[in-house]
Amino acid sequence: MTQHVRGVIARSAGAPVEMATIAIPDPGPGEAVVQVQACGVCHTDLHYREGGITDAFPFLLGHEAAGIVESVGDGVTTVAPGDYVILNWRAVCGQCRACRRGRPQYCFDTHNAAQRMALEDGTELSPALGIGAFAEKTLVAAGQCTPVDRAAAPEVAGLLGCGVMAGLGAAINTGAVGRGDTVAVIGCGGVGTAAVAGARLAGAAKIIAVDLDDRKLAGARALGATDTVNSRDLDEDAVVGAIRDLTGGVGADVVIDAVGRPETYRQAFYSRDLAGTVVLVGVPTPDLRLDLPLLDLFARGGALKSSWYGDCLPSRDFPMLIDLYLQGRLPLDRFVSERITLDGVESAFAKMHTGDVLRSVVVL
Ligand SMILES: NC(=O)c1ccc[n+]([C@@H]2O[C@H](COP(=O)([O-])OP(=O)(O)OC[C@H]3O[C@@H](n4cnc5c(N)ncnc54)[C@H](O)[C@@H]3O)[C@@H](O)[C@H]2O)c1
Ligand SMILES: [Zn+2]
Ligand SMILES: [Zn+2]
């Protein structure tokens, strides 16, 4: 029987989000209905509501969540009602060309629910990243549910569902930070600060955090940054110079751009050592262009990589990172700046711009 729950939708580009009644069908084959317990507010939700991702409005926002599986459809064997899960947006297919080559983290045909959730008048909703978890319940593909140890509270566990995983993975998986490496992270919101924490887990010797806001830099230091650069009043060359000064004049082995703008990318590009690695994990808007001398791309060598969801494999990485958290080796709880209700999503967006929070988490 179709259920009706409360959820947060974006109806048109730039308009404030609204509370709405969402119709959730029973799970069909391969699907699951999940009772959402917590969902973090990610910058990507704001990108959606501003029309920066697609124009498939209305969106059911929220995609960084943990909860309890309520019911499953036919043929589902990987999760059962009652399981405690983190929702992921990379339910790998096992059959596409990436999966068949043994690189499922690049899966080009990830699974989402086949049925659509809808508004009461029947208007179909586009769930953000195929999840839509700013709602009391949501419908997903069963493969989007990754069971983890229930000793981790949902507001903490859910963060691995997107931004924190993206940042940790940008350092550990994409950047392949190793013991003794020097690392710089530009932009220390939830994603960048997680990259700092990932670099620390991987054994980096020096971790330089760069942001426009001293509060973000203090947060990055608490998660493992050894040095900080406030770039608010610095031009691009001065940011590059500051990172080089902190790395013996040569630049960092791995530089992670967790903002995604031409100026931060150029800072990352020129502040890494020769043959170093740049990881772009911040998501640029469609209007942005990058202009670099082609010779510099050649002459500086190394690797220029993008990190989609931290190149994570949820079934491998979520339980492992939750275990590290429970062992006290990864302070995931420090990412939770405030607990809010579904009505607080719009003001959480505003706080992203004022720099007040690392993560606002909706707790249901
Ligand atoms: N690649 C992925 O899979 C993935 C996943 C989740 C989020 N993201 C993206 O990562 C980015 C960051 O997300 P977030 O949730 O951490 O955002 P956020 O808004 O919480 O943090 C952004 C941080 O960047 C800082 N900043 C902005 N401009 C800067 C500049 N010029 N120089 C230095 N610092 C600057 C801000 O002060 C802020 O601390 C977004 O673009 C988001 O869409 C990517
Ligand atoms: Zn695949
Ligand atoms: Zn996200």
Q: What is the pLDDT of residue 286?
A: 86
What are the C-alpha distances in Å from 115 to residues 73, 88, 126, 140, 276?
12, 17, 11, 9, 45
* Angle in degrees, CA 97, 102, 104, rounded to 5: 70
- Distance of CA 90 from the midpoint of ligand 2 (Å): 9
- Distance of CA 65 from the midpoint of ligand 3 (Å): 10
Closest-CA residue to 169 (of 268, 281, 259, 265): 281
- Distance of CA 108 from the midpoint of ligand 2 (Å): 5
User: At residue 101, does pLDDT exceed 90?
Assistant: yes
Q: What is the pLDDT of residue 93?
A: 96
Best mutation site among 90, 185, 259, 313 for ligand 1, i.e. most ligand atoms within 8 A of its Cβ? 259
The confidence band for 238, taking pLDDT boundaries of 50, 70 and 90, is very high
For range 250-260, the mean pLDDT: 98
Supply the residue whose CA is at minimum distance from atom 25 of ligand 1.
Answer: 187
- Distance of CA 337 from the midpoint of ligand 2 (Å): 35
DSSP string, 189-243: SHHHHHHHHHHHHTT-SEEEEEES-HHHHHHHHHTT-SEEEE-TT--HHHHHHHH
Q: In this prediction, what percent of the chain has a pLDDT beyond 70?
A: 100
Distance CA 178, CA 202 (A): 6
Q: What is the pLDDT of residue 27?
A: 98
The answer, yes or no, to whether any atom of ligand 1 lies below 6 A from the CB of 44, is yes
Can you tell me which atom of ligand 1 is nearest the CA of 353? 19
- Distance of CA 64 from the midpoint of ligand 3 (Å): 6
Ligand nearest to the CA of 64: 3
Supply the residue whose CA is at minimum distance from atom 31 of ligand 1.
Answer: 264
Write the pLDDT tens digit of every residue in 5-35: 999 999 999 999 999 999 999 999 999 999 9
Distance CA 136, CA 345 (A): 14
User: At residue 262, does pLDDT exceed 90?
Assistant: yes
For range 195-223, the mean pLDDT: 97
Ligand nearest to the CA of 90: 2
Q: What is the pLDDT of residue 353?
A: 84
Tell me the β-bridge partners of 254: 183, 277
Write the pLDDT tens digit of every residue in 109-145: 999 999 999 999 999 999 999 999 999 999 999 999 9
Mean pLDDT of the chain: 97
The confidence band for 169, taking pLDDT boundaries of 50, 70 and 90, is very high
